Amino acid sequence: MTTRAWPCLAAAILICGSLRLSLLAQQIDESTWGKNSAGVELATHEGPRERASSGTVLIYNILGRGFPADKTYDLWFWTLGKKPAKAMAGVSFDKRGVLVCSGKPGSCKGDGADDPINIKATAMLGEPKRFGVISTDGKIAGFAEAVPFPVEAKDKNCKLSVVRLTQLADSLDVRGSGFIPHETLTVKESFSGRDLVKNPTVAADGTWHETVAVREPGWDSGTAAFNAAGKACSVNITFHWGNGSNQQQ
């Protein structure tokens, strides 16, 4: 097996979308990340977790569907605080849809033919693991995100979660799902000595999200609290940000 130590992945969260225009691999950046080519899906499969002095060790395989077999691909990764970057060249998918090093000319080599690529990682609480598989000609791209240690709460069918967008979690993506489509929510936020009330509209699929910068001048750490209330549910969640929040789990 081909094993790569990588600050990486966990339970798969599939990012769906449609990419109408061909991409050039060198143009993959924050604005194009997450836009799947039509018919392409990407996910991860998690193996048993292990404990180490550095934290919980996660091991994952990458799974793909809809990727043309006549192309070779590059594995990309987007870590917090950095720009998307190519991590490994010459990867491909075997007949099961597992990302492998085939060992063929022009492809990466492992311990044998079609050697699965295992990704080892540790992660912080609420940290997203974002990766992409992009053809070398840039015309096919698939992306996925995993949050190994989610911060989330539920009420009835509704769920609220926060995902850190920076190392110190002073910028967060707040995500809600399971709400009544098109309803108006009452969202209460409290952080850095501020209390805010917002009234966003839920999307047609019952989801809502927003990016929140929780750091205010004079604050180095704190707790951010969120409540999202609709007609059928009310969900509360809190999350520690700033100094001391970036411990590996």
Q: What is the pLDDT of residue 27?
A: 66
Task: Taking residues 92-108, report their average pLDDT.
Answer: 92
| CATH number of the domain within which 237 lies | 2.60.40.10
Whether residues 43 and 137 share a domain: the answer is yes
Pair 114, 181 in one domain: no
User: Does residue 72 carry a pLDDT above 90?
Assistant: no
Q: Which domain holds residue 124?
A: 2-146
pLDDT (tens digit per residue) in 189-248? 999 989 999 999 999 999 999 999 999 899 999 999 999 999 999 999 999 999 999 999
**Looking at 92, 111, 146, which one is the last position of a domain?**
146
34 pLDDT higher than 60: yes
Q: Quick one: pLDDT at residue 131?
A: 87
Asked if residue 120 and residue 200 are part of one domain, the reply reads: no
Q: What pLDDT, on a 0 to 100 scale, did the predictor assign at position 4?
A: 57
Cβ contact 172:152 at 8 Å: no
Last residue of a domain, one of 99, 125, 146: 146
Asked if residue 89 and residue 195 are part of one domain, the reply reads no
**Each residue of 114-144: pLDDT tens digit?**
899 999 989 999 999 998 999 998 899 999 9
Q: What local confidence, expressed as pLDDT, does residue 1 receive?
A: 61
Cβ atoms 32, 142 nearer than 8 A:
no
| pLDDT band for position 74 (cuts 50, 70, 90) | very high
**Is 52 within the bounds of a domain?**
yes
Q: Which tokens hold the place of 246? A: 């970036």
Residue 186 lies in a domain: yes
Query: What digits encode the pLDDT tens for the residues 157-188?
Result: 999 999 999 999 999 999 999 999 999 999 99
Residues 186 and 223 grouped into a single domain: yes
**Three-state secondary structure call for residue 61:** strand
Q: Average of pLDDT values for 15-35?
A: 57
Indicate if 142 and 183 belong to the same structural domain.
Answer: no
Strands (E), the chain: 2-5, 12-14, 41-46, 50-52, 55-65, 73-78, 85-93, 99-101, 115-121, 129-135, 141-146, 151-155, 158-164, 171-177, 186-191, 194-198, 208-213, 221-229, 234-242
- Residues 160, 175 within the same domain: yes
Domains held by the chain: number: 2
